[in-house]
Amino acid sequence: MAKNSTSPTTVPDTAWLGRGRHLGPEPERDVRRNLIALKAAGVLDDFLDLDPVEAARSTVLHPRDESADPGPSARRLFEARWRVADDITVRAQLTTYEPESRRKGDEGVTWILAAEAERAWDAHWPSPATMFWPDSDQIAWDHDAVGSLRLRATNHLPKDDDELRHLLRDCARQSWFIHVVVHEAMTPDALGQRPISAFLPPSLRHRVVEHRGTPEQAQIADFAMKRELSVRMPRGGGVVLPTAPPSSWYDPERFTVRTVFLDGTEPTELLDRIREFAALPQPLPGDAEQALIRLRAGWHLLNPAEELVHAQAMVAKYAEALDAMTHSRDLYREAAETAHAALAEASGGESAPLLPGPRPVKPDASPLSGLTKAFGRLRGPNK
């Protein structure tokens, strides 16, 4: 598996990460059906469906690495392996989780997906999301874990000022996806309502959340974005939002597009800015870092070559342990012989007899019976 050659605080260029929510009744069933269909079609090399507890206990690559444990709230762990251009192997794990708090009205099942290729990720490769989730609008797996935002649709900005500011703040701080805000200069027709993610390459299509501001929201959206994220919302334009705190490479002017035509044509300039933003180093959230660690340290789906390497490594490890035990036994024997010789010399050339060990205690013996026998021996003839 490819190693992380970048800073641990940024997403490796070999990785694809996503965190969302499935709002349907049986998310694991949807994943199983999709995996079975794709393996039958030859898209996947193989897949595994694992219980999280058993998966953590039987971690193959690093049996003692506690980072491979997906946590107590994990429901199911899925692994899949497939190949992309030039026979490059991609490995991916999808974990489903229980909602964090039922009392807050959380809906749906949270999922985390981590995929990694043997070289830098190409946006034109198939999306890891559709390797696990069905690529269908009828299955509501594509909701951001922040708010009720959907990936493959346009999400209109809240009307309330405070709600809008809180949403922008949460998206910048908590979401793993790229967020884009587009302002409608006028109400678009059916072609203009088509989400811009439809024009993006496959692996980038499921990493973008699109917000839409209605014509009358120009000022409120501009004020909220300026206050929360220090970016401006051009009327009839679009902007790729920064993360919070913003990275040093983020330039608000660079990622702002003054005019976006929502007439069904390809918004080339905005798409170029999204691709450019996605190619730059992205901050790695703490949960995402743990997902990468689990992918690398807790991988179970080995191919025959990897199984052979793993078996050879285990044999070498057991051989080293056996050598260490043999060496320790020899050292113990030498120390015992030296001590015995020294004891014999100190006793005038005669080896000292071994001291008798403690007498075995009968299983039925008890302190009370011992005291009774002792007092019996002290009793005189006159009792």
pLDDT in tens, the chain (383 residues): 444 444 458 999 999 999 999 998 999 999 999 999 999 999 999 999 999 887 777 665 555 456 667 888 899 999 999 999 889 999 999 999 988 655 455 578 999 999 999 999 999 999 999 999 999 988 999 999 998 899 999 999 999 999 999 999 999 999 999 999 999 999 999 999 999 999 999 999 999 999 999 999 999 999 999 999 999 999 999 999 999 887 888 999 999 999 999 999 999 999 999 999 999 998 898 899 999 999 999 999 987 666 556 556 656 766 777 778 887 887 888 888 888 888 888 876 655 554 444 455 455 555 555 545 544 554 554 44
> Do 86 and 212 belong to one domain?
yes
> Do 113 and 190 belong to one domain?
yes
Q: 3-class secondary structure for 3-64?
A: CCCCCCCECCCCEEEEEEEECCCCHHHHHHHHHHHHHHCCCEEEEEEECHHHHHHCCCCCCC
> Do 218 and 312 belong to one domain?
no
The answer to whether residue 359 sits within a structural domain is no
> Do 314 and 282 belong to one domain?
no
> Do 288 and 307 belong to one domain?
no
Q: Under a CB-based contact definition with an 8 Å cutoff, are residues 81 and 45 in contact?
A: yes
> Do 242 and 311 belong to one domain?
no
Q: Under a CB-based contact definition with an 8 Å cutoff, are residues 98 and 109 in contact?
A: yes
Given CA atoms 129, 133, 135, 141 in this order, what sign does their dihedral have? negative
3-state SS, residue 95 = strand
Pick the last residue of a domain from 284, 301, 318: 301
> Do 105 and 125 belong to one domain?
yes
Q: What DSSP character marks residue 149?
A: -
> Do 248 and 326 belong to one domain?
no
Q: Under a CB-based contact definition with an 8 Å cutoff, are residues 229 and 242 in contact?
A: yes
Q: Which residues, in sequence order, are CB contacts of 327 under 8 Å at separation 6+?
A: none
Q: What DSSP character marks residue 116?
A: E
Pick the last residue of a domain from 242, 277, 301: 301
pTM, entire model: 0.78
What order of strands is seen across the sheet that includes strand 256-257? 154-156, 208-213, 178-183, 238-240, 256-257
Domain hosting 95: range is 15-301
The answer to whether residue 58 sits within a structural domain is yes
> Do 256 and 308 belong to one domain?
no
Task: Count Cβ atoms below 10 Å from residue 27 Cβ, excluding itself.
Answer: 24
